Amino acid sequence: MSVDLDRRVRGVGTKFKLYAQSPTLAAFQKPETVWVSSPKGSLRAGPEDHRMYVVDAVDKPHYKNTDVLPYRGARRAKAEPGPDGHFDHLTPEDRTFWSAHCFGAVRRVLDIWEDYLGTKVPWHFEPYYKRLEIIPWVDWKNAQFGWGFMEAGYGLDDKGDKRPFCLNFDVLAHETGHSLVFSIVGFPNRPEALTAEYRGFHESASDLVALISALHFESFADHILAQTKGNLYLKSALNRIGELSRTRQIRSAANPMKMHQVADTQRPHTDLTGKELHTLAQPLTGAFFDILVDIYQEKLIEYGALSPELADRSSRSEAADLDSPEINAAYAKAYEDAPYTFREALAEARDILGIRLAQTWHLLSPAHLTYGKVARAFLTVDRRLSGRRYQDMIIANFHWRQIGFQFSVRGLSKPPSNKEQH
């Protein structure tokens, strides 16, 4: 969702209050008012519209493969729009806020990625169901996006307390990301064409949808920059996807994982556990996170806010100390001198990566998908949009993660010296 689209929906769309991250985190205990593209007054109680509806089901078990929609059991009260057609009057103390939060989060993610794609994304299940059914709460330690439905359970915090995923934007955005990938990339139509890397790619793409979508919250971006003083490799809510507390998160985007550290991709995907599939996603997610940081640093150099030497020292490599006190102090000084420039660079890097990811998905075939094919498609899109500007940096990041061995850096027989050769 570009800044331009934000301006276009403001005043004509519908307002919701959304948590930028889990409200269990001290910095995000107050929801932020956001505009979504649904025309003011177009949403009915639920909320619901022509694309999706929310049902706060009572004592409903989570859906299984044999279940049939729609849910017809007992339900709690619907979230009602205010007299002005908005839903931002609801407060977290009101149970109907859960329903509004789910609807608003899904609509917000669709707005962002449909803007990146330049077109509406139909539901992958539309031949069978015209609308998405959203269940904000099931007593289940998980969340899922399935054939015509999305439902949210809970995660456990440090004390073992249940934290509802319906109030966790990362989790809702991740599940919506699965739907986007199913709609755009598709699903292999033959069992033998379904690879472990397709499953890992699905998880990675959905994590990246969550990360990039969260960066559209002004409060979130400001908090990240203030927390890290501009050094995005420091531990923060940005790279702790699905965070439930100060010490618990579902996955980390700023991870050091390489392909030799995860499950063998030649194994049948049916032999891999859920944990192994999520871990398999980490090298690909990490590569794209590193690309985000490198583009962000390139923008800071372009604006004169960061020296090339500091950017090089704070890039991912075997020798780099990403938590070096010296690097942190240099970053803090640069950030304090130009905080608005850092924020602008982060917003630009966010959109550069988001647009390229969205267009990459259009080039992929789900059959026999590999990470190397994802990398090649991403490079093709980037070259089409920016020529050679980011190509060497992107290639070096894929090399470092052991993705796409066949790539060569322009004029070089090996990756740049700040990246490990494979």
Give me the chain's average pLDDT, please.
89
Give the burial class of 355: count Cβ atoms within 10 A of its Cβ; 0-12 exposed, 13-18 middle, 19 or more buried. Answer: buried
Mean pLDDT of 407-412: 44
Which one, of 132, 231, 218, lies nearest residue 176 by Cα? 132
Taking 90 as the threshold, does the pLDDT of residue 321 lie above it?
no
pLDDT class of 312 with cuts at 50, 70, 90: confident
Give the burial class of 338: count Cβ atoms within 10 A of its Cβ; 0-12 exposed, 13-18 middle, 19 or more buried. Answer: middle
Alpha carbon distance 252, 357 (integer Å): 19
Q: What is the pLDDT of residue 7?
A: 82
pLDDT class of 99 with cuts at 50, 70, 90: very high
Domain map (residue ranges) of the chain: 1-184, 192-422
Taking 70 as the threshold, does the pLDDT of residue 419 lie above it?
no
Question: Which CATH fold topology does 1-184 show?
Answer: Elastase; domain 1 (3.10.170)
Alpha carbon distance 354, 3 (integer Å): 13
Which one, of 52, 45, 49, lies nearest residue 129 by Cα? 52
Alpha carbon distance 407, 46 (integer Å): 50
Q: What is the pLDDT of residue 273?
A: 87
**Measured between alpha carbons, how far apart are the two ends of the chain, in Å?**
36
Taking 90 as the threshold, does the pLDDT of residue 294 lie above it?
yes
**pLDDT tens digits, 41-76:** 999 999 999 999 999 999 999 999 888 899 999 999
Choice between 3 and 86, residue whose per-residue pLDDT is larger:
86
Please report, for residues 119, 202, 228, 360, the alpha-carbon distance to residue 223 in angstroms, rounded to integers and kept in the order given.
31, 28, 8, 30
Mean pLDDT of 149-155: 95
Q: What is the pLDDT of residue 152?
A: 97
Alpha helices, DSSP H only, in 58-214? 96-117, 169-184, 196-214
Taking 70 as the threshold, does the pLDDT of residue 421 lie above it?
no
Mean pLDDT of 318-334: 80
**pLDDT tens digits, 216-269:** 998 899 999 999 999 998 877 777 665 544 434 566 787 889 999 999 998 888
Mean pLDDT of 73-94: 97
b or e along 16-30 (b: 16 or more beta carbons within 10 Å of the residue's beta carbon)? Answer: bbbbbbbbbbebbee
- Report the range out of 4-18, 111-125, 239-253 with the highest average pLDDT: 111-125
Mean pLDDT of 102-117: 97
CB 236 within 8 A of CB 148: no
Taking 50 as the threshold, does the pLDDT of residue 408 lie above it?
no
Taking 80 as the threshold, does the pLDDT of residue 2 lie above it?
no
Q: In the chain, what percentage of residues exceed pLDDT 70?
A: 91
**pLDDT tens digits, 344-362:** 999 999 999 999 999 999 9
Largest CA distance in the chain: 66
Alpha carbon distance 281, 269 (integer Å): 13
Choice between 191 and 237, residue whose per-residue pLDDT is larger:
191
* Cβ neighbour number for residue 72 with a 10 Å cutoff: 9
Q: What is the pLDDT of residue 405?
A: 60
